[in-house]
Amino acid sequence: MKKPVVPFWIRSYFCFFLANWAVFELLRVIFLYVFRGALTPQHYHELWTTFYIGAKFDFRLAGAVAAPLGLYLALCAFWRGARKAKKLMCWFCALLEAAVMLVYFADFAHYSYISMRITASVFKYSENALISAQMMWQTYPVIWILLGLLLWGTLGYFFTKKLLVRAFEREDGYRWKGKLGWFFAGLLITAALMFGQISQYPLRWSNAYHSTNNFICNLTLNPAVNLFDTYRFAQSKDYSEEAAREYYPEVAKYLQVDKPDAETLNYLRVIKGSKTPKDYNVVVIFMESFAWNKSSFTNPDLDPTPFAKKLAERSILFTNFFTPTSATARAVFATLTGLPDVSAIKTSSRNPFIVDQHVVANALSDYEKYYFIGGSSSWGNIRGVIEHNLADIHMYEEGKFQNERRNDVWGISDLDLFREANRILEEDQQKTKKPFFAIIQTAGYHRPYTIPEDNAGFVPDTKLTEEQAHKRSFVSVAEYNSLRLSDHFLAEFFRLAEKSEYYKNTLFVIFGDHGLAAPESENMPRGYVEWNLINHQVPLILAGPVVKHPRVIERTASQVDILPTIMGFLGRAYFTRAIGRDALNDRLEPGAFIYSWAQTPHPIGFVQGEYYYQILDTDGKDGLYKFGAEDFSRDLSKEQPQRYKHMKNMALGLYETSRYLLYHNQKVADQDQLKENV
């Protein structure tokens, strides 16, 4: 007898796999039909993307459901004795199928009740199990649901039994090595389907948030996969309304809330803008690790960033500008949302519970919007924060550039990224004739400090010694040259931009996503190092021909202020509930909130001028310090009790307010709220 091309036990496995996938796809179609009223006509074109991404989520669940059967079939192929447990395996698959269908039933009920797909937060109902059970009994057809689960489990039992009978009704005759080959082939195909995409990063929950429409995103999700993805975050909703309310009066005054209300925790401010708003293009450039202590501003003799320093001379330079945290994903979140990322678990961009955020840049409704990143936006799950919250964003990442030359783990080089961004912006504006808002996120100044072959004539410095580098805030000469390269590429971008039509009407916003620690840093006052402020201080430069009055601003400002500052520069109206404020408005109290999540215990602080207040989140040890003074460690809390009390309230108040707002800063569907108040 001729051998079959594929062994029957492999066929049975993939039959089970694909049957489950087909059922999950059918359930997605049913979900669309049942809740189709939430789908608006302007989003019909997104259904193709929704079902494509959704199918990949369904493959992941189908692989997880089929894996136990696949392992059992492989065991039976190698060891006949395992076939005696066939009945037990059938019952296990029946229970697994019923459990998955229970999740789907619960998901349909959950969505019909509150228009949200099921998440791990449903487990909180077990805290009041009796009340929850009574509510379910009185609300849903529990008997019919149980009968449906019983029927589905029974079908699962007999379907599995039939597949197991067929798997070994005819021995394929393969030897041990042949069977091992088929096992690994099946394993590889399953792993590839569950990985979900041809990319450096696997399919993630943030891929579902490809639209600003909540129903489209909900339709893309798979309920069982979403239940798993949200489990670790369901336990981290540790904000306290009581704590936010305790500090509300001082925080509301700091933010200049329009109508303060501690009871409702209202943080809304409506900024009316100027009578003659500008339509300048805006290019926001995240410079990876562009730390103040490593730049030419504090290392004039080494001069690692000569272009940035020269650019600042004809720009608006903020010299006391701080990031709330010291991580890139947290910086992206803080910049876009205006909220410090105070998540203790992972980063806020990775938390599906808080993906829905209001972004003030959406007030630029007449602008084309772009995001450029040399690698993948699946990194840090920033895709969800960007695509879901920035309306009609044009996302350019790996695989979408005209010139794809992968440089290292971070994707294409910053030079190629700048070239591609400039080309796309120039070509698109010639076609659309509309102003644009663009974000370019660099990554080159980062380990492994790769210098690409195509580097626009960059020449590494070979004279600096490792010892000299350490003393001047660098961990190595390689890092020093990498920062020089980053500045060199920034200069090349401006050289290209200056030749374009869009340049003369463009505001460029350049800043570091975070600082970097450097234990020696002899070029900085010691207090910056000891209080870890070098991890947070970065330059902010507002540059371009539209900047008519270059100047240096020494007032303390924060990364969360970037978008409100841009809106203020443009004179555009917007509304916000977040912490960010217009840093160019000297009528507002200066200050910068600090959350050093990377340290344990976590220091929470507030910078204002030359003063720094810090408290540890566990033991409550705190103090007020002049971080730039020689006696930087002297606690001034008793000498200046009024300042100490105010800065303590600001540090703790902004911390508690940020924790609360992470879950209460959703996009406002009714954009007329802005029109009514302006």
Q: How many angstroms separate the CA atoms of 284 and 507, rounded?
A: 8
Say whether pLDDT at 671 is over 90. Answer: no
Q: How far apart are CA 672 and CA 575, in angstroms?
A: 11
Whether 678 has a pLDDT exceeding 70, the answer reads no
CA 583 to chain centre: 24
DSSP state letters, 5-50 = SS-HHHHHHHHHHHHHHHHHHHHHHHHHHHTGGG--GGGGGGHHHH
**233 pLDDT band (50/70/90 cuts)?**
confident
Residue with tokens 């259904």: 47
Residue-wise pLDDT tens digits, 36-61: 888 878 889 899 999 999 999 999 99
Residue 498: what pLDDT? 97
The residue with greater pLDDT, 537 or 327, is 537
pLDDT of residue 235: 60
Q: What is the pLDDT of residue 1?
A: 47
Express each pLDDT in 572-611 by its tens digit.
999 999 999 999 999 999 999 999 877 767 899 999 999 9
* H or E segment to which residue 612 belongs: strand 611-616
The percentage of residues in the chain with a pLDDT greater than 90, rounded to a whole number, is: 73
Q: Which amino acid is at 668?
A: V
Whole-number pLDDT of residue 334: 97
* For residues 102-126, average pLDDT: 80
* Residue 586: exposure state from Cβ atoms within 10 A (0-12, 13-18, ≥19): exposed
CA dist., res. 581 & res. 575, Å (int): 11
Ordered by start, the domain boundaries in the chain are 8-234, 241-677
Upstream peptide bond of 601 is cis (omega within 30 degrees of 0): yes
Which residues in 394-413 are b (16+ Cβ under 10 Å) and which e? bbbbbeebeeeeebbebbbb
Residue pLDDT, tens place only, 182-229: 889 999 999 999 999 988 889 998 899 988 888 899 999 999 998 888
pLDDT of residue 669: 46
- Quick one: pLDDT at residue 118? 86
Give pLDDT, residue 519: 83
Q: Tell which CATH architecture fits domain 241-677.
A: 3-Layer(aba) Sandwich (3.40)
Q: Rounded to whole angstroms, how far apart are CA atoms 535 and 295?
A: 13
Q: What is the CA radius of gyration of the chain?
A: 28
CB 7 within 8 A of CB 173: no
The tens digit of pLDDT for each residue in 608-626 reads 999 999 998 767 889 999 9
Kindly report which listed range (116-130, 486-500, 568-582, 600-614) carries the lowest average pLDDT score. Answer: 116-130
What lies within 8 Å, CB to CB, of 147 at 6+ separation is none
Residue 450, both tokens = 């790769």
Q: Is 4 a residue whose pLDDT tops 60? A: no
Of 355, 331, 353, which Cα lies nearest the Cα of 341?
331
Query: pLDDT band at residue 307, thresholds of 50, 70 and 90?
Result: very high
What does the mean pLDDT of the chain come to? 91
Residues 63-70 have a mean pLDDT of 96
∠ CA 449-454-460, rounded to 5°? 50
Residues of the chain above pLDDT 70, percent: 94
Bridge partner residues of 396 (DSSP): 372
Q: Report phi then psi at 337, rounded to 5.
A: -95, -20
> Of 442, 457, 538, which is closest to residue 490 (Cα–Cα)?
442
pTM, entire model: 0.84
